[in-house]
Structure 1
Amino acid sequence: MLIDFSITNYRSIRERQTLSLAASAYFKELEELNTFDAGTGEKAPRLLRSAVLYGPNASGKSTLIQALDFMQDRVLHSQKESQVGDEIDTVPFKLSAASRADDSEFEIAFVERGVRYEYGFRCNRQRFTEEWLYAYPQGRAQKWFHRVFDAEAGKDAYKFSSLFEGDRKRQDWKDLTRSNALFLSTAIQLNNEQLRPVFDWFQHRLRVVTSTADLNTYYTVDLCKTQTEKAKVVAFMNSADLSIADIRVKTTDFSPDVLPKTMSATLKEDLIRRMSGKALTTLKFLHSDAQTGEPVEFDEDEESDGTMALFAFAGPWLDVTENERVLVVDELDTSLHPLLVQHLVKLLHHTGSKAQLIFTTHDTTLLSQKLLRRDQVWFMEKDAARATQLYPLSKFSTRENEAVERGYLNGRYGSIPFLKDLDFYGV
């Protein structure tokens, strides 16, 4: 599970900014529902099940999500998908000469298989200049490896802990780590099992959705092909009071006859070529007749956009909660009604799962529902240098029953847009 994530010198973020999901010991509200024990056996703070980020447009909310997505992508793909000389797709803060010339830095702390890890790296567009990993079995720090680029020697220098296994293989792992690849990724490709929990956290535990427009129904449709999983999807959707009696998935072989007659010949030929031998899946939602109770079929296009958005979200959501993953979503409220967002947050807090949800939103009604602790609410805004600042509501001396939504909209916590009057001439 995620403990914290820090970014330095990436896009709109200049100085180090840290999002923490460690629950504050000062707040006792909603402790059992909204927090959980990390399970490391350490005397460590409980972790938060969710965190929400507010801020005006262009304040840096998406930058934080993109940074986490970038870090995950580099861990998973830097060794196997990049070639010698390929640039690293990082972008430093551009509004300062010093930051334009400096490296970007990413660091994350998480728990996997009962052990806390801290992993991070620095990079520019040409190479990774530093990389490190700490492990905390039984709560004691072990610095497994540290890689630093030696500019004078023109190569990386490595230091390994005596607790880092694979003495005979280390040289191979070092030699085969390209300048634009991570040592962690390379060692995993070469079958290092000690680093497997760290890599697996990025591969299997973390789910980043940089745009809800990327969510489609395919994953949920696939779940609905088995009766047990379909029942979970129906129950999930009906928990939002959608009154769906059943969902039917019908699979038929593709036929050119289903294509519109008005379609151009060129496009039709292309589709026939690509779809030949493939199956088509159609989705039917069943609702009960108000008088007789008999099931009535509705096509996808007869359902509301909100219903279809929730259906697309159902599969990933069930996966996240059942497998205790970390779901990070940018602008969750773009595809879901505010009441559905509130519903999802409530569900997460009541499941007892160690799943975590981090999301950005402009919907302030969450702040008035008593759903969140003060340390679960974060704000983002630009400072005088137009760099992103990230800070929690718990930074302010708020009363336990303070009207947080009203305070936020009134500018008490910052992180709101400053609008200038527009002068119209010739009207």
Structure 2
Amino acid sequence: MAATGARPRLAAAHALTEVLDRGRALTDALDGLGDRLDASRDRAQVRRLCNRVLRNWPALDARVRARLRKPLARRNRWIHFLLAIAVDELDDAREPAPAVVHAAVEAVRAGGAAPMAGLVNAVLRTELRAPPGPEPGDDDVLRYGMPGWLARRIRTDWPDDADAILAAGNRPPPTWLRVNRRRTTVEAARAALEAAGLPCTVDARLPDAIRLERPAAIGQLPGFREGHLSVQDAGAQVAVDLLDLAAGQRVLDACAAPGGKAAHILERADVELLAIDRDAARTRRIETGWARLGLSGRAAVADAARPDPWWDGRPFDRILVDAPCSATGVLRRHPDVRWLRREADIEANAAIQDAILEALWSLLRPGGLLVYATCSILHAENRDRGRKFLERQSDAEPVAFELPETRAVDPGRQILPGSLDRDGFYYLVLRRLPADGA
């Protein structure tokens, strides 16, 4: 079975069943994958197969349905996803078509459904003989593999950029690294990567970022175990620049898990940092990351929207609100998100975002800065939240700032997916005015 590649395909089919039929995040669906597949190459293949299908699910689903005379029984639903994987592989042509068909058939047998092997073989051989069907044309669902509600919102919010945004959401993401200034420099880290045969690029506009030119095993990167490097998209690295940090400041990172931005803060300045998150398991990841990087801060399980139980009464000089959102700016990195979110989630997110901003604003000292950030590209979670907040808070003043290749949205700025090969992020910087408005 290992020789045919059946095991990775079987694992991918079951993971897709969990995501698309049961609403589980892909990372959760793949939990324990290392216990089932020993080879890192096989585990990487599972993730690649899942991501490809998730990016093109509506079209693949339609093609599989067209080949089946009737839907598969519920107990064999995973075979529908196995067929989608194989159809996508035939399109991709990374492996010879006979090998793809044989692997899918063997995966069916390995999954305990040997009587279905003949059906799978027939469906895939028919797919080889017949063209895939008409082009999707202007149908965003088929063309870009997006749910209709999301494509409509993107076109409404970004009419001039919608096609570029939708296309960017389906491109495999690069690996961006963040350099720990306390342990090395961008130049030294780049030289070490190049010497290890890992070509990479830097950009003066992205001061702590290095982009790998091809995928690599992160744990084996030179300097990673020593805390020289972390994985973080260049778009996410912007937050620390906007905070305008200085030694001695008291800083709050709200909704901080898994901790990338919190670590970046500690790498940049000697500050008193409190990083909070509601999820205890994710909060522990913050401290684990700090230990590898040689950083020291305080992490606590706490609700940003309800500060009374955890705030000690001392105001913060800087607050980062990395708000819960739809994650529509990181679809290329997490293609399952498009199928896990619902349009009703956007309104629910907005209410949470408003509550967090309202609760934390009084914790900021006059003259201090609050940076509101999301990995969303939807105005309802970004620009509109900033406008509503400024309408309510007379002592809040938006701070103008520049970011390379971004859109001004008044208030704040939007990084669109693919700009400088970054994920999509929104940023708004607010200064709290003194009580007399001076």
* TM-score, normalisation: structure 2: 0.25
Higher RCO (Cα < 8 Å, 6 or more apart): 1
* TM-score, normalisation: structure 1: 0.25
* Structure with the bigger percentage of helix: 2
* Structure with the bigger percentage of strand: 1
Larger radius of gyration: 1
